[in-house]
Amino acid sequence: MRFLEAVLRTVRHSRRLATGLVILGLMVLLALLSPLIVKAIGGSTDPLELAAYERWLVPGPGHLLGTDQFGRDVFAMVISALAVSLQIGAIAGLISTVVGVIVAFVAGYKGGWIDGLLSTFTGILLVIPTFPLLIALSAYAKNVSLFQVGVMISIFSWPFAAKTIRSQVLSLRSRPYVDLARVSKARDLEIIGTELLPNLLPFIGVGFASSALGAIFGLVGLEVIGLGPGGVIDLGQIIFNAINTGALTLGAWPMFVVPIALLTLLFAALNMINIGLEEVYNPRLRGVAGE
Amino acid sequence: MTTEAPPVVAVDRPQDSAPTTGVRAWLSRHPLAAYAIRRFGLYLVELWGALTIAFFFFRLMPGDPIQTLIQTLQQNYIYNQQASAEIIARYQHEFGLDGNFFSQYLKYMEKLVLHGDLGPSLINYPTPAQDVILRALPWTIGLLGISAVLAWVFGIIIGAVAGWRRGKLGSSVATNLSIALSHVPYFFIALILVYVFAYSLGMLPARSAYDSRIEPGLSPDFIGSVLKYGLLPGLSIVIIGTFSWILSTRMLMVPVLGEDYLVYAEAKGLKGWRILTRYALRNCYLPQITAFGISLGFIFNGNVLVEQLFNYPGLGTTLVTAIQQLDFNTILGVTNIAIFSVLTAVLILDLLLPLLDPRVKYWK
């Protein structure tokens, strides 16, 4: 309950954070309702079935966004792909955040050579172009489950979370109340659990949002060059299909414009949450990002 | 910064007893040189680390690419079992795939460092992978380099003005647009641009890097054609890149505006524009030089997709083709070249920074 109040208070302080959360919430809701929506569109037939309708129908009252080269309803496809994209983002974001938090705590709290080693490693992963590595990994990952895709993508998105959280651990670790806990002989884990972690929650949120963003970005990247893992239809794959089946020349714009618009909205929402959280909790930035 | 022990310190330890002479004393008298040497040491460590990560990443991947490659080769050669075993052994040796991982690693590194040799490419066998890559490299450097620099310049100018005129309508529009669009893949904008300008309006070409009817060379026709074909892919990188620089510049600009020296400059009666360019802006663009280097790897990632969409003959397209054909040496080669370029660019920018910014002090 206290936690909820704190969240509400935070949201009230930043219109940007609130906007981001509302957009994200609506998208999650849409994704949760996707089976119902797909059913409502199809009626008795499955709108995602091959040759459910005629091919290349133009958008109209029957099919809001038309149909694709196999006669599937584009609107239904987009809605269910949105659910997949969000799931990937959530899975990969969660894994990355957990790894990032662990690395950040070990590095930032312990300091010394461990910090040097871990930070150099994180830094290298952040600076070098990792997309070729991700592409290569995906080339050998056909027929994988949604969860496995998430794991695969998080190999490259945890440094985003680690970097954000480590810098906060560094600044928190020298605060008076941590010193107090230390002189009163609290164990490291105790200090981390009771003193550091609660104060880091907003930044863990930032880490989650940025790695989820990085993960969806990565998967879309893989999908649009046709190297996405098999068995997963996310928004990126719809864009890939659109390009490869000539939707560009046929003028079937809904097939790529709608997924792009949805993903852009998602990226915008995640970024708003990031910046909103930073604004509220990082006093140095307060009002800096501005209206 | 890191606490990685720079090699220099380790070498100099015996001279600790004589601080007035020797290398250590010289270093303490030349802090900038000491910084440069330490930074270069870190660069070597990073480069070695990144190349090693890349190498083992490719070799340790589940679903051995080598096996697939050999199977393909086996199917293509209709020899008897005995002969194909010999052929496999020869190919394994030639592609550097014989022996255990560690000896493969040593051999790869030795060839790479001493001879700049990345091994033969599979797509264009027996052309070495470095030749395939060097053919593609100028296109990527041209497209990515020019677009990234343009985005940086535009972003800093617009971001500084947005910070300067904060609270005004234009500024808040720019800021909010940047927040919404700074993390969108370049590829999205590229696709929309292609659809509108190439397919719907037919104004600009949608594929390739120049008109194939024009002989490549330094003729005005060819250069014009390269610019025309590069416009759409370049524009997509410039648009999104500008948005991300606007946001970070604005964040650097706003705290500067509260500084005493700006209040003083204003009290002195200087014009707003002069204060902005001479006093405020100079304090924002310098940290962005470091940020530019760090962002290059990210820009390269996005650029792969843009090149692929436009079938632009750069590193990105080479990479994707190589992956589709399981051309192992080329894939690793492109990755290594990209790693090398990005880390070197960051090194150069870091070394230039003390010369550009007199306040930067890298010594205690």
Residues of B with Cβ-Cβ distance to A288 under 8 angstroms: 250-251, 254-255
Taking the C-alpha atoms of residue B117 and residue B134, their distance in angstroms, rounded to an integer, is: 12
Residue pointed to by tokens 């414009």: A257
CA A49 to chain centre: 28
Q: Does the structure show a pLDDT above 80 at B244?
A: yes
**Domain assignment present for B315:** yes
**pLDDT the model gives residue A56:** 67
Q: How far apart are CA B109 and CA B116, in angstroms?
A: 9
Map residue A75 onto helix, strand or coil.
helix
Instruction: Express each pLDDT in B298-332 by its tens digit.
Output: 888 888 888 888 888 889 888 888 877 777 788 88
Residues in chain A with CB shorter than 8 Å from the CB of B297 are 126-130
Among the listed ranges A216-230, B89-103, B107-121, B232-246, which one has the minimum average pLDDT value? B89-103
- CB contact under 8 Å between B301 and A130, yes or no, is yes
pTM (two decimals): 0.81
Phi, psi of B261 (to 5 degrees): -65, -25
pLDDT band (50, 70, 90) for residue B19: low
Closest by CA position to B323, among listed A136, A134, A140: A136
Which residue range is the domain that position B197 belongs to?
Answer: 37-364
| ipTM of this complex prediction, to 2 decimal places | 0.80
Q: Is residue B249 part of a domain?
A: yes
Comparing A102 with B98, which gets the higher pLDDT? A102
Question: A45: distance to nearest CA of chain B, Å?
Answer: 32
**Residues of chain B contacting residue A252, judged by C-beta atoms under 8 Å apart:** none
Query: Both ends of chain B: CA-CA distance in Å?
Result: 14
Please give the CATH architecture assigned to the domain spanning A2-48+63-285. Orthogonal Bundle (1.10)
- pLDDT tens-digit series, residues B122-170: 666 667 888 888 888 889 999 999 999 999 999 999 998 888 887 788 8
In a domain, B286, yes or no: yes
In a domain, B363, yes or no: yes
Using CB atoms and an 8 Å cut-off, which of residues 45-74 of chain A contact chain B? Answer: none
Exposure of B79 in the CB half-sphere (CA atoms within 13 A): 12
Work out the angle between the directed axes of helices A146-173 and A74-110 (0-180°, nearest 10): 40
Write out pLDDT tens, residues A46-103: 666 666 666 666 676 666 667 776 767 788 888 888 998 899 889 999 999 999 888 8
CATH code (residue B141): 1.10.3720.10
Decide if B15 is inside a domain: no
> Which pLDDT does position B147 carry in this prediction?
93
Question: Virtual CA dihedral for B56, B62, B65, B66, nearest 10 degrees?
Answer: 70
Our count of domains for chain B comes to 1
Nearest to A116 among B4, B334, B346 (CB): B4
Nearest-angstrom CA–CA distance, B320 and B333: 13
Buried b or exposed e, range A236-258, using 16+ CB within 10 angstroms: bbbbbbbbebebbeeebbbbbbb
- With pLDDT > 70 as the criterion, what percentage of chain B qualifies? 81
**Is residue B18 a part of any domain in this protein?**
no
Residues of A in contact with B63 (CB under 8 A): 140-141
Residues of chain A where predicted confidence (pLDDT) is lower than 70:
1, 42-58, 60-65, 69, 71, 139-142, 230-231, 282-291
Residues with Cβ within 8 Å of A247's Cβ and at least 6 positions away in sequence, in order, are A68, A241, A253, A255, A256
